[in-house]
Amino acid sequence: MKVAIIGGGAAGFFSAIAVKENFPNADVVILEKSQKLLSKVKISGGGRCNVTNGTHSISELARAYPRGGKKLKKLFNIFNNRDCIQWFEDRQVPLMTQEDNCVFPVSQESQSIIDCFMSEARKKKIQIKTGYGVKSIHPENNQIRLTFLKDYPEQTFHKIIVATGGAPKRSGLDWLEKLDLHIVDPVPSLFTFNMPSESITSLMGIVVENALTKIPGTKLSATGPLLITHWGMSGPAILKLSAFGARWLNECNYDFQVQVNWVNIQNNNLVMEDLKNLMHEHAKKQLVNFRPYALPQRLWDYLLDKAHLSKEKLWQDLGKSGVNKLTNLLCNDLYQVKGKTTFKEEFVTAGGIGLDNINFKTMSSTKHPNIYFAGELLDIDGITGGYNFQAAWTTAFVAGQLQEL
């Protein structure tokens, strides 16, 4: 059996290894368009490679995917994050789980993951061909003929797994659309918010550990650490919001408002009561000298200025108007967003091959049963924290079984 894996990234290598484990005598080749292999693995997690997420709940794992979570939940019964951790450790790549549940190699080097894949490929005699961009796929009489972008001769395979990664533009999926597949327009996911007109950027470097962010006029919200940057806002509270709101934010051309609840208390009345209690407990202290909710000092100074409250004012002199102003800023602080920035060097897309094209018991095409799909090429994407790689490993593992129904 001849099997071609189109794409030399995370899902491509994982599916190729899975095929050889299931079919040791199969002739397997990885065809990579560029000259680089596993490039996204290399830069992931700041060069450390956030392999997966350490959550113990499959339901929680599935909820981390704005698109595709319900489909993945079933696949996680076959191969999930616990299986992933075991997979790498069985191949002498020890992993560690951080407090935030992000899982990294103990070496803190993405090269450990790359070396593991390359070693497995050598052991299993998987061919790897770089510079082999596939131009077209032609299913013919239980075989699949591939043509190439360069002047290489056509090749025929019994089965192929397409794992070419996310395409930033729909045009990058034209060659697959010719197979009569439904394509969901790709849009960016996982990005930070640019705020060129907001003075809060002067607080760059400040982290609020547990903020609540919302997009007014929508049901979109997210919680977690929020990082103020020199261009705007980042951190999990922003990145999760960008992922779940990817399509809506694209439609409004990344020109919108974000509402920040700095204390992650949704009931404004509770915050108001807290501030009133502080007026009595710290009556003789100046506002600047006591920060509610252990807010960073520079942020508290900024909010006092924004509320037009003197830093030298005593807590006992705050008054009803001052309490209302601070309550509103702590719970409903608004900022204008104009534009986005890709999160570090990690590019994630929402969109790709529509999930209605895929048989999720096998990861094969519903129209072409010998063509399988894996990884970010699918209309599946997760929030930050190792979830996107886990989707790649899971879909690749299932695709690599080459099951037929």
In tens, the pLDDT along 241-254 reads 999 999 999 999 99
Q: Find the mean pLDDT for residues 124-135.
A: 97
pLDDT at 21 over 80: yes
Percent of residues, the chain, with pLDDT higher than 90: 95
Please report how many Cα atoms fall inside a 13 Å half-sphere around the Cα of residue 401, on the Cβ side.
16
Q: Round the average pLDDT of the chain to a whole number and report it.
A: 96
In tens, the pLDDT along 181-216 reads 999 999 999 999 999 999 999 999 999 999 999 999
In tens, the pLDDT along 259-307 reads 999 999 999 999 999 999 999 999 999 999 999 999 999 999 999 999 9
How many CB atoms sit inside 10 A of residue 57's CB?
A: 9
**Kind of pairing, strands 232-234 and 191-194?**
antiparallel
DSSP result, 120-150: HHHHTT-EEEES--EEEEEEETTEEEEEESS
Nearest alpha-carbon partner for 324 in 271, 279, 387: 271
Please, which pLDDT band fits residue 256 given cuts at 50, 70 and 90?
very high
pLDDT at 361 over 90: yes
Report how far residue 196's alpha carbon sits from residue 254's, in angstroms, rounded to the nearest whole number.
13
pLDDT of the residue at 383: 95
Find all residues with CB under 8 Å of 210, minimum gap 6, and list them: 223, 224, 225, 264
Residue 19, both tokens: 């095929």
Find all residues with CB under 8 Å of 366, minimum gap 6, and list them: 356, 357, 358, 359
Domain 2-187+347-399 matching CATH 3.50.50.60: the answer reads yes
DSSP result, 317-368: G-HHHHHHHHHHHHHHEEEEEE-EEESTT--EEEEEE-GGGEETTTTEESS-
pLDDT of the residue at 130: 98
The CA distances from residue 301 to 166, 224, 265, 283, 306, in Å, are 43, 22, 20, 18, 9
- The answer to whether residues 32 and 149 touch, using CB atoms and an 8 Å cutoff, is no
Report how far residue 212's alpha carbon sits from residue 259's, in angstroms, rounded to the nearest whole number.
8
CATH 1.10.8 residue spans of the chain: 269-334
387-399 and 10-22 are packed helices; what angle lies between their axes, rounded to 10 degrees?
30
Cα 299–Cα 198–Cα 230 angle in degrees, nearest 5: 70
If residue 11 lies in a helix (H) or strand (E), which one and from where to where?
helix 10-22
In tens, the pLDDT along 31-53 reads 999 999 999 999 988 899 999 99
pLDDT of the residue at 6: 98
If residue 97 lies in a helix (H) or strand (E), which one and from where to where?
strand 95-97
If residue 112 lies in a helix (H) or strand (E), which one and from where to where?
helix 111-123
Q: What is the pTM of this model?
A: 0.93
CATH 2.40.30.10 residue spans of the chain: 189-264
Please, which pLDDT band fits residue 404 given cuts at 50, 70 and 90?
confident
- Sheet with 255-261, edge to edge strand ranges: 333-338, 255-261, 207-214, 221-228, 232-234, 191-194, 340-342
What's the full length of the chain, in residues? 405
pLDDT of the residue at 344: 66
What architecture (CATH level 2) is domain 269-334? Orthogonal Bundle (1.10)
pLDDT of the residue at 137: 97
Please, which pLDDT band fits residue 56 given cuts at 50, 70 and 90?
very high
Residue 219, both tokens: 């049901």
pLDDT of the residue at 346: 64
In the CATH hierarchy, which top-level class contains the domain 189-264? mainly beta
DSSP result, 15-68: HHHHHHHH-TT-EEEEEESSS-SSHHHHHHHHHT---EE--S-HHHHHTT-TBT
CATH 3.50.50.60 residue spans of the chain: 2-187+347-399
pLDDT of the residue at 67: 97
In tens, the pLDDT along 136-182 reads 999 998 899 999 999 999 999 999 999 999 988 899 999 999 999 99
Q: Is 92 helix (H, G, I), strand (E, B) or coil?
A: coil
